[in-house]
A and B are shown apart, each in its own frame.
Chain A
């Protein structure tokens, strides 16, 4: 047996792949909201990925990876039976799961993957879970069945209206509120622009909103500070203080700027390697 072997690979969308990976010690401890850091080989980056699922009996962790550049493309080329060189976790602080009443779990694009275990845990804790799943277009909307299985209600929104309601997560939230639901807490995970838009909107509504940040990281243990996030007046490290924060306090402009730190280098990496040249799906 080799550690960190891919036992299942499933293409969820054109550039989005699900991997179930053997990592029994991580699987024994992981909780919803936490992440792992993976490395493909000696020359690879350390890539943080939020956990989508875990199976303590099988000793596996499931992650979902979107090809957005050199390293994620390399990962997505992994086949069943091949292995990650390194697989570290669980990292970060788990989601604060309790019985709040009615909660909304919003997943945008790839963000549907990490919202999945949170929705499941919230439901198991007794909440009425309403999920709002969004994507640019129907083809990119992943994990619909899985989310339906762990939610009491599911609302789907797409930018182009090719599936569900045409609009954004806020459109979906309006529908839910119009039905008379009293929403206690919202979890919103997705692209930075989506989380920013949701947080801005829910702030006006006065609904507590938790977001999961995905900044650039290196070690994931609080050692390097690459993942600095401004939350209110404080600088936090997403790897050890997060990755979840109060969305109403996060400085999204700074967070988006910081994601662009290595844009030039990303282009150089793509030019150098055989991977990621048509990235940015």
Chain B
């Protein structure tokens, strides 16, 4: 029976319309759609979907409650494992996680777990009441450095355990990449702030405008700040450039700057908001990950006429989620694949005007298992551009690591943490998310934050799981 119901598509804004606004692209299920979709779930006795989830959400349980129309109960179930479901429902790569393990997916299409998660979380935001019950305080204090996905997830779990939690956030608002990086049209900032407000209601203190490494340090927090443990979740906040001539020309942005101006500072509402963002007519975005897709789609919405993803490998190797690439393509982004710039050129005032590119072909698989791109000799050509967004990845921001003596780093500058406990080389200091793994996904960072919270809990209870 259940198999006969097809997977429900989620309503979206039309590509031609959405390419010119910053409103959310996906509109979410209606109640009817959610119930119908939830009824597709086979309620497996041994649910494989859960093993695909980095935070092991009780997937069949919450879906059953959706099928029964008890959406608020479903939200409670969801939140048992995931304190930020409205965010995860939007930005998790479900197709490679939970949904990839769904039995229905073997013969047809998997249950739309991500869309149901999103529906339930949004329903709760709209109709739910604050639970407000605070656990008995343990008297222990934990400092969390970085208010991004890993820090927030860690904060949520620690607060649930009754510890006093303070999040130190360098920017003027918490959320990290959820606020500065992921665009409004993919993850509305109001949703992020609602989730953060929930954490505040649980008793989490968020101190914005505090750059650890400058205004205080890990050692100081533990010595005189009265914190019993520290979690470092400072992310991958150091933009990489290509290292090719012309990268300092006007019109050349790191993806971080381009997205921060637009999202965090609301440059898309300039001049009502005072931070400007400048985009020309012909935009090249270098790289093909999710950040590159966000940059390209943002450029289009800011009024660019022609936006290209420039990537030296082929479609198959693109690191972006299939859905993001698909949305970008629908909106009219060009994909200039097997192409890579070797130099940028400027006009007399220093504005970028073109890129010299090389064409590539795919050779043997490299260390990452992907076929490595090989430049074709003599294939140089000029591409006219007036804006370039460099989205080739980010490294670890060194502000905290450099100011913390005794913290072991790897040669890339990432913090070395025990894979099981996320304990670092310093007693009482834990780390997780991109600062440990290098740039990855929101949900992996959140998973790490939760894992660290469990270890910190054990550490504070004297279970000596770490040091």
The answer to whether A binds B is yes
**Residues on A facing B (Cβ under 8 Å):** 25-26, 29, 39, 43-46, 70-71, 74, 85-91, 218-219, 221-226, 228, 230, 235, 240, 254, 257-258, 260-262, 264-266, 268-269, 271-273
Q: Is the CB of B276 within 8 A of A269?
A: yes
- Interface residues in B226-280 by Cβ distance below 8 A to A read 237-239, 241, 247-248, 250, 253-254, 256-257, 260-261, 265-266, 270-276, 278
Chain A residue at minimum C-beta to C-beta distance from B274: A45
Are B250 and A222 in contact (CB-based, < 8 A)?
A: no
Whether A221 touches B241, Cβ cut-off 8 Å, given contacts A91-B211, A254-B350, is no
Give chain A's interface secondary structure class.
mixed
Residues on the B chain within 8 Å of A219, using CB: 170-171, 180, 260
Whether the Cβ atoms of B215 and A90 lie closer than 8 Å is yes
Q: Which residue of A lies closest to B402 (CB)?
A: A240
Chain A residue nearest to B269 (CB atoms) is A43
Q: Which residue of A lies closest to B258 (CB)?
A: A224
Other than A43-B266, A265-B276, give 4 A-B pairs with Cβ distance below 8 A: A89-B211, A223-B238, A225-B241, A269-B271
Give the distance in Å from the alpha carbon of A25 to the alpha carbon of B212 in the complex: 12
Residues in A whose Cβ lies below 8 Å from that of B350:
254, 257-258, 260
Cα A26 to Cα B209 with chains together (Å): 10
Q: Is the Cβ of A222 less than 8 Å from the Cβ of B399?
A: yes
- Contact pick for A254, options B209, B248, B270, B271, CB 8 Å: B248
Report whether B209 and A88 are in contact in the complex, using a CB–CB cutoff of 8 Å.
yes
Asked if A221 contacts B254 (CB within 8 A), the reply is no
B425 contacts the other chain (Cβ, under 8 Å)? Answer: no
| Inter-chain contacts of A254 with B (CB < 8 A) | 248, 350
Cβ-based interface call for B107 (8 A): no
User: Contact between B209 and A87 (Cβ–Cβ < 8 Å)?
Assistant: yes
Q: Judge whether B278 and A261 touch: CB under 8 Å.
A: yes
- Given A25-B215, A89-B214, A225-B257, residue A46 in contact with residue B275 (CB < 8 A): yes
Residue of A nearest to B220 (CB): A29
Cα distance, A218 to B172, chains bound together (Å)? 11
Q: Name the B residues within 8 Å of A272 (CB-CB).
A: 271-272
- What 9 pairs between A and B have smallest CB-CB spacing? A265-B276, A257-B350, A224-B257, A272-B271, A225-B254, A223-B237, A86-B172, A88-B209, A45-B274
| Interface of chain B residues 265 through 301 with chain A (CB within 8 A) | 265-266, 270-276, 278
**Chain B interface residues toward A at CB < 8 A:** 170-172, 180, 208-211, 214-216, 237-239, 241, 247-248, 250, 253-254, 256-257, 260-261, 265-266, 270-276, 278, 349-350, 397-399
Main SS at interface, chain B: loop
Interface pairs (28), CB distance under 8 Å: A25-B210, A26-B215, A29-B216, A39-B172, A46-B172, A85-B172, A89-B214, A89-B215, A91-B214, A218-B261, A221-B237, A221-B399, A222-B399, A223-B238, A223-B239, A224-B260, A225-B241, A225-B254, A225-B256, A240-B398, A240-B399, A254-B350, A258-B248, A261-B250, A261-B278, A268-B270, A271-B271, A273-B271
Instruction: Decide: B271 and A257 in contact? CB cutoff 8 A.
Output: no
A235→B248 contact, CB < 8 A: yes
Contact of B250 among A26, A29, A86, A257 (CB under 8 A): A257
Task: Give A45 to B208 CA distance when docked, in angstroms.
Answer: 16
Q: A219-B170, A224-B256 are in contact. Are A45 and B241 (CB under 8 A)?
A: no
- B260: chain A residues within 8 A (beta carbon): 218-219, 223-224
A205 to chain B, nearest CB (A): 29
| Residues in B neighbouring A260, C-beta threshold 8 A | 250, 349-350
